[in-house]
Amino acid sequence: MINYKHKGYTKVKIRKLVLKCAGILCAVFVLPALFNAASVYAEVREVYDVDSLKKAFASTGGGEAKMTNNITLTGNTAVRSELILDLNGHTLNMSNKTLLAYNNLTVIDSSVNKSGKIASTANWVLQIGGSGIIGSFTLKSGTMEGSNYNIRILADNKLVIDGGIVKGNSFVIYDEGEFIMNGGEVNASSGVAVRINQNSTFTMNDGLIKTGGDNCAVLLGAAGANFTMNGGKIEATYVNAEGTSGGNAVCAFKDTETTINDGELVAVGNTITGNGSGPESGSSDGSNAIFNINGGSITSSISAGIYAPQLNGQTTITGGTIKGRTGIEIRAGELNISGGTIIGEGDYEVTAETNGLTTFGAAISAAQHTSKQEITINITGGNFTANTPISDADPLGYGEVEHSKVHINVSGGKFTGTNNDGVYDNIVSGYKKYDKSGYFIVVPADYEEEEEIIVPDTGNQTQTIEESAGFDAVTQIATISTLLLLFLHPIARGVYRAIHQKSQL
């Protein structure tokens, strides 16, 4: 038998060492969890009337307040504590007053049927922040119900919607700060669902936004407004009695930027639209609005997927699917397309419209507005399908002098159509159309028609080497962890055996 006593090992010392290690592990992992859990549960309080609710709102300790009864407040009421308010299936009735988030307020509804709500007949059900006061509000579940508007985010303040429902008549969300939507629903019965104001941002990652009125679901209403859509759905369902016009999904005014990376936008009218009025129109000035479409699905049932009449506007398409009676109509500014699928549905028709869509049955339509501005279209890739894939019309009859301001440059892409006469008059020098199996592609001029033509990459399925062959962070961590376990396992087993043998002495 091996004697380890000369090295200082004894059964007692080994047991003490094991207990000491267990204590350290407990201190590091177990006790903090127990402490945190205990502190959270200790801070939950039940609120059942006005006094108990106001005490929770004013408490410096914060924590969680759980409603056990319907409560009615009759004055503007500020929440000054960092608080989680659990509606628990009950109603917080603000009467005709406003709830003020003057700290970090989170609302949840733990009831099974999620029937809890905060309601008011005032202009605002909730205001986030105040004069010199910064606050935030997070809705995880439950309903915010307004008779007029609903939530106002003051400058430098923040709204996060992870779940639940926010509904009202119009301006359901009035964003003067930062709005992030990760889920839930924002619903306007007859007006704008979300208005983004000057130098404010709205990021939509998931959820549903919709309007039932003859208006815009999302409105970028002032200079510096920025909207980014990464997922979710936007709906504008209104249609007039004649079936000739309807609601729009996204509308943009002067000096704003809209970026669609993913998600679904559906409208009866123009799905994404600018405004053709200039500086003389004041608040309706649509100049310089920017549209970036990198992915997603954009669909109009009776109008254009994208309608771009804005002065000095810039629309860039790298991916996604855009579909309507006309896919995209540009009436001023610049349109650059390198990828994506663009579809125009129905028969080809051009009308002399001064305030709206002029062309039907085209994938891309160039049609000067009353502003008589330059139009430049650059197409280097993409799939285009329509009766007339590219329409270069003069709907208002301005004649050759003004029409010479329209420039269409095509150096790539695939075009499928049934009415191709005159469509490719402005193909960039050095390229030509090639008719193959019912569609046109643009190829270099030195190609011969009897040669085999490789359809150009439209940009929709491009994958870089790094994307296809690289490892993301999670994969790397998992791989390294596996290798470490394989390497350390025999060492750990050897140490365990040595200690176990010594404990038998």
> How far is Cα 272 from Cα 252, in angstroms, rounded to an integer?
8
What value, to the nearest 5°, has the Cα angle with vertex 443 and ends 438 and 449?
A: 65
> Which pLDDT score is estimated for 399?
79
> Which pLDDT score is estimated for 2?
45
Terminal Cα-to-Cα distance of the chain (whole angstroms): 8
Residue 465: pLDDT over 50: no
Residue 1: pLDDT over 80: no
> How far is Cα 137 from Cα 101, in angstroms, rounded to an integer?
7
Residue 292 pairs in a beta bridge with: 259, 316
Residue 149: pLDDT over 80: yes
E strands within 132-232?
136-139, 143-146, 151-153, 158-161, 165-168, 173-175, 178-181, 185-188, 194-196, 201-204, 208-211, 216-220, 226-229
Q: Which residue has the higher pLDDT, 182 or 396?
A: 182
Q: For 75-97, what is the mean pLDDT?
A: 97
| 301, two tokens | 């049932």
> Which pLDDT score is estimated for 108?
98
Please report, as a single letter, which amino acid is at residue 73.
Answer: L
pLDDT band at 500 (very low <50, low <70, confident <90, very high): low
Q: What is the CA radius of gyration of the chain?
A: 31
> How far is Cα 76 from Cα 97, in angstroms, rounded to an integer?
5
> Which pLDDT score is estimated for 20?
55
| 13, two tokens | 């010392």
| 460, two tokens | 């929709």
Of 98-102, 156-160, 214-218, 500-504, the poorest mean pLDDT is in 500-504
> How far is Cα 417 from Cα 439, in angstroms, rounded to an integer?
7
Q: For 100-128, what is the mean pLDDT?
A: 97
Residue 343: pLDDT over 70: yes
> Which pLDDT score is estimated for 372?
81
pLDDT band at 15 (very low <50, low <70, confident <90, very high): low
Residue 140 DSSP class: -
Which of the given ranges, 5-14, 256-265, 284-293, has the highest pLDDT on average?
256-265
Of 196-200, 306-310, 483-487, the poorest mean pLDDT is in 483-487
> Which pLDDT score is estimated for 438?
55
Range of the domain at 475: 279-488
Please report, as a single letter, which amino acid is at residue 35.
Answer: F
Domain count, the chain: 2
> Which pLDDT score is estimated for 283?
78
Does residue 283 form part of some domain? yes
Residue 158: pLDDT over 70: yes
Residue 232 DSSP class: S
pLDDT band at 78 (very low <50, low <70, confident <90, very high): very high
> How far is Cα 117 from Cα 67, in angstroms, rounded to an integer?
11
Mean pLDDT computed over every residue of the chain = 83
Residue 158 pairs in a beta bridge with: 136, 178
Q: Are strands 439-444 and 414-416 parallel, antiparallel or unpaired?
A: antiparallel
Relative orientation angle of helices 11-25 and 473-503, to the nearest 10 degrees: 150
Percentage of the residues of the chain whose pLDDT score is greater than 70: 74
Residue 245: pLDDT over 70: yes
Residue whose entry in the numeric block shows the structure tokens 């408490």:
59
Q: For 107-121, what is the mean pLDDT?
A: 97
Does residue 54 form part of some domain? no
**Each residue's pLDDT tens digit, 371-388:** 788 999 999 999 999 888
Does residue 136 form part of some domain? no
Residue 254: pLDDT over 70: yes
| 118, two tokens | 């905060």
> Do 292 and 325 meet the contact criterion of CB atoms below 8 Å apart?
no
pLDDT band at 495 (very low <50, low <70, confident <90, very high): low
| 108, two tokens | 């949840």
| 337, two tokens | 């397309």
Q: Which of 256, 167, 148 is nearest to 209 (CA)?
A: 167
> How far is Cα 301 from Cα 303, in angstroms, rounded to an integer?
6
Does residue 267 form part of some domain? no
Listing DSSP states for 366-382 in one string gives: E---TT---EEEEE-S-
Give Cα separations from 30 to 37, 63, 221, 233 (angstroms).
11, 22, 51, 42
**Each residue's pLDDT tens digit, 401-434:** 777 888 888 888 888 877 655 454 445 555 666 6
> How far is Cα 393 from Cα 382, in angstroms, rounded to an integer?
21
Ordered alpha helix ranges (H), 84-216: none
Residue 422 DSSP class: T
Of 323-337, 357-371, 436-450, the poorest mean pLDDT is in 436-450
Burial class from Cβ neighbours inside 10 Å (0-12, 13-18, 19+) for residue 93 reads middle
Residue 21: pLDDT over 90: no
Does residue 354 form part of some domain? yes
**Each residue's pLDDT tens digit, 40-65:** 444 689 999 999 999 999 987 779 99
Give the distance from CA 11 to its chain's centroid.
63
Does residue 440 form part of some domain? yes
Residue 262: pLDDT over 80: yes
Is the Cα dihedral 163, 221, 241, 365 positive or negative?
A: negative
Give the distance from CA 199 to its chain's centroid.
17
Does residue 36 form part of some domain? yes
Does residue 237 form part of some domain? no
> Which pLDDT score is estimated for 289?
96
Q: Which of 193, 185, 163 is nearest to 87 (CA)?
A: 163
| 22, two tokens | 């267990």
> Which pLDDT score is estimated for 246?
95
What lies within 8 Å, CB to CB, of 437 at 6+ separation is none
- CB-CB neighbours of 112 under 10 Å: 7
Q: Which of 286, 281, 238 is nearest to 258 (CA)?
A: 286
Residue 19: pLDDT over 60: no
